[in-house]
Amino acid sequence: MQSARSENKDQFKSDERCSPHFSKDLHVGGGYLTVHQAVGDLIDFYNVQFYNQNGMAYDTCQSIFYASGGGIPGTSVFEIAKKGIPLNKLVVGKPISWDGVVNSGYMDPWIMATCLPDAKAKGWDAGVMGWQYSLDPSYQWISALNTQL
């Protein structure tokens, strides 16, 4: 974690983790909740991967933002925030197209855009991350979501 201690204010420090890494129940030692307690003030944001979770779809507003349910409970945005991670650090990562999906998590960007106003009204404002930008050379994915960001 020493590398995260850069004094250069022009640099952002982030990390990409699957949402289950924010569960004490699923990770010995507390997973990223423990990392956040130790050095979270040095991390600007977390790109949280809400896809490719072995069948946990994260393909509805409810499962992404409010109640993940299924085999990975307690790992939606607001459930992670209740564990101490600030909402402004929880970037929602989603695949840009079906080509970026191994087993779950794709959501039509126009449908996902409908999730954002309610989440923003409840305090979330960290934004979205798309995997993988080269799968959308016309920028339709971010254009759809940008209407509500």
Q: Dump the DSSP string for 64-128.
A: III---TTSTT-SHHHHHHTT--GGGEEEEEESSGGG-SSS----HHHHHHHHHHHHHTT----E
Q: What CATH code would you report for 11-146?
A: 3.20.20.80
pLDDT, position 8:
59
Total residue length of the chain: 149
Q: Which two tokens stand for residue 84?
A: 């101490």
- The residue extents of the domains of the chain are 11-146
What distance, in Å, lies between the first and last C-alpha atoms of the chain?
A: 31
Question: pTM of the entire structure?
Answer: 0.85
pLDDT, position 15:
53
pLDDT tens per residue across all 149 residues of the chain: 334 445 556 655 555 556 666 777 767 777 778 888 888 888 888 889 988 887 767 899 999 999 988 778 888 999 999 999 999 999 999 999 999 888 888 999 999 999 999 999 999 999 999 998 899 999 999 999 999 99
Alpha carbons within 13 angstroms on the beta-carbon side of residue 19 total 34
